[in-house]
Structure 1
Amino acid sequence: MDGLPLDRLPTHRHDGPMLSWSETATVTFHSGRRSWIVPPGHGMWVPGGAPHGVEVLRAGLGSALLFDPARRVPDWREPTAFVVSPLVRALVRHLSELDGPVGAARERAEAVLFDVLRPADALTIPLPMPADARLRGIAERLLADPGDGRELAHWAVEVGAGVRTIGRLFVAETGMTFGRWRTHARIRAAVPMLAEGVPVGTVSRRVGFRKAAAFTDAFRRVTRRLPSSLSGERP
C-alpha cells in the first residue's frame, strides 16, 4: 500500500504481522494502553493478532505491508518502533511492487528486510486511565482542557472526596501522582500542535504552562526529546 495517504484507523488486528512506516506523516500508533508517536522516517512492526489503531497528527504519506503468518519473521512479541534506513525504505518499496504474497523473489527480499530491521527508541507518552468513576471524570475533563490549572484539592471537593483519598487512588490506579498524570496529559495534548508547526511558546501556554522553559523541561523529562524536534523550531 505504498504511497497511500494516511487516515484515522480504528482499532483492528491482522492474522499475520504488519510493517508500517511514515514517509511524510506524523501519527499516534495505539495498541492496548500504550501509544507511540511515529514521525516521518520511522515505522512500527505489529505482530500478528495484536490490536492496533492509528490517529493522524499531521497528514502525509506512508506504507504498510502484511506478511504471511507462517513465514519466519522478527521475534518481536509486541508492537515495536524502528527507524527507516535507506535500505529498509528501498526493500519496503520493492516488496510493495512485487506481484502476489508468495514467490522466491519476495522471500529473498523479506529475508534481507528482516535481517536489517532494528528496534528504535520511540517517543512514548504513558497515560493510563483510572477506572474509579470519580477519578475518570477528573481525567476526562483534564484531557478535554489540558490547560486547566486547578489543583487536586479543588477536584477532591468537586467529586466529594478527601484530597488524600483521591491522591492515593490516582497512584493506585494509574501508577502516577495526580501532578505527574496531568503533566503527561499536557505533553500528549501538545504533540499534535507541535506536529502542525504551532510555535513552542504558544503550545506551552495552551496546555497550561506559564513559561515555555518549564514546558520544555517537562517535555524533555517525559519524552527524552525537545519539543522543537517535532515543531521544526531551533532549540
Structure 2
Amino acid sequence: MPKPIALPAVAPGINPHRNARTLEQIPILDPLLYQPHAQRPVRSKMRELDKDTLIMPHTHPWAQLALSTGGVIRLSLANATYIVPPHRAVWVPPGVQHAVTMVETARLYTLYFLPDTHGGGAQAHWMNDPVWQECRVMEASALLRALVVEMDVGSDNSLPLTLTQQERELHLSALVCDELRRAPVIHLGIRLPKDKRLKNLCEAVLADPTRHETLEQWILDTGASLRTVARLFRSELGCTFTQWRQQVVLAHAVALAAQQLPIAHIAAELGYTHSAFSALVRRTVGMTAATFLGQQQSAPTAP
C-alpha cells in the first residue's frame, strides 16, 4: 500500500457564488482513498450531483482533471472562475485550491494524476511543462470522454483490481494522457480581483450578468465611485468593465448551450441579437459561435 501523501490545510479565499442562490454544500470524498501512486498513476472517481451543489474548497498534491457528463460545472479559484460544459474539461495543477459548483445536475468525473515528483516517473514528465502548471480549459474529444467513462472509479475501500484490470487501467490512462496533450486549449477564464468592493461587484455580475446594463448601475451597492471602480478594473484585471463582462456573457452562453438551446435563443437571453452575439464570440475567442458552444451547424436543406 503506498504511503499516503499529506493533504495541505484548506486556506480561506474562495467564496464561489457569494451573491448567487443558496448552494447545498457537501464535503469532498476522502482524496486519500483515490490517491494515485506508481502502480496506478491515474485514478478516477465519479459522483452524481444535483444542480446547485458545492464541493467545498480543497487542495491536493496531485493534478486533477474535472469533466462532467450531461451538465455544466463551475470551478472556482481564489483569483478566477471557469464555467465548463460537457464537451470541455478543466485541468487543475497540483497544490491549487479549488471549489466545484454544479450549475446543472450531472455526473462529475474527477481524474487524479501523479506528478513525477511523487513517483509518477517518466510517464508523468509531460506535466512538468510550464503550460501544465496553470489551470486550463480544454476541448474534450469524444475519445477522451469515452476513456474517462471507462476508467475504474473504485476507491481503496473497494476490492483491489486484478492484474488484468490494472493492465487495462494503465492502457486507458496512457491514452487519456495522450488525448490531453493533444486537446485544444480554450483561452477563456474569468479573472477575479482581490479588492473586496470590486470582487463583490464581479460576483454579482457572475450571478446575473443581464441585471444591469451600465457600470453606473452596477456600482450602486459597492460604496465606490465610478472612477474608482473603473481604475480597479484596469489595475487588478487589466481590462475595462465592458471587456470583463463580455467574458462573463460568454461563460453563461456556454451554460445555456449545454441545455441544447439554439444560438439565437442564447443570444436573446443574454441581451444580444444573433449577429451581435456571433460577432462577439468571433472577436473574443476567434471561432464561430457554433464551434465555441459545441454545436453542430445543421446542413442547409435542398430547395
Q: With structure 1 as the length reference, what TM-score do the two structures score?
A: 0.71
By how many angstroms is 1:217 displaced? 1.5
CA contact (8 A) 2:65 2:90 kept: yes
Aligned to 2:278: 216
Structure 2 distance, partners of 1:32, 1:133, is 12
Q: CA deviation at 1:175?
A: 0.9
Determine what percentage of the aligned residue pairs are the same residue.
27
Corresponding residue of 1:15: 61
Conserved 8 A contact 1:21-1:44: yes
The residue type paired with residue 71 of structure 1 is G
The letter for the 1-side match of 2:48 is P
Q: Which of 139, 150, 169 is the aligned partner of 1:93?
A: 150
Deviations 1:36-94 (A, max 9, x none): 44333543443332222323344333533335542232423233446346378447625
Structure 2 distance, partners of 1:82, 1:199, is 20
The answer on 1:192 being equivalent to 2:255 is yes
| Structure 1 position 170, deviation (Å) | 1.9
The runs of 5 or more residues in structure 1 that have no matched partner are none
Residue in structure 2 matching 1:228, options 277, 282, 290: 290
Distance change >3 Å, CA 56–CA 82, structure 1 → 2:
same
* Residues 226 and 157 of structure 1, relative CA distance in 2, 3 Å threshold: same
Classify the secondary structure of the residue corresponding to 2:278. helix
Alignment partners' CA distance in 1, 2:208 and 2:230: 20
Q: Which residue does 2:84 correspond to in 1? A: 38
Consecutive unaligned residues in structure 2, runs of 5 or more: 1-43, 299-303
Give distance in 1, aligned partners of 2:94 and 2:250. 31
8 Å Cα contact 1:219/1:227 also seen in 2: yes
Whether the 8 Å CA contact 1:22–1:40 is kept in 2: the answer is yes
* TM, length-normalised to structure 2: 0.58
Tell me which residue corresponds to 1:77: 133
CA RMSD of aligned residues (A): 3.9
Q: Deviations over 1:121-166 (max 9, x none)?
A: 3445333334445544543443344224543456678867665444
C-alpha deviation, 1:174, in angstroms: 1.5
Q: Is the 8 A contact 2:46 2:153 kept in 1?
A: no
Deviation at 1:114, TM superposition (A): 3.6
The residue type equivalent to 1:78 in the other structure is E
d(CA) in 2 for partners of 1:146, 1:220: 20
Give 4+ residue runs of structure 1 displaced > 6 Å after superposition.
Answer: 101-104, 156-161
Q: Render the CA deviation track for 1:158-206: whole Å, top value 9, x for unaligned.
A: 8676654442232112211122122223222333222223343333233
How many equivalent residue pairs? 234
Instruction: Report what 2:94 is aligned to.
Output: 48
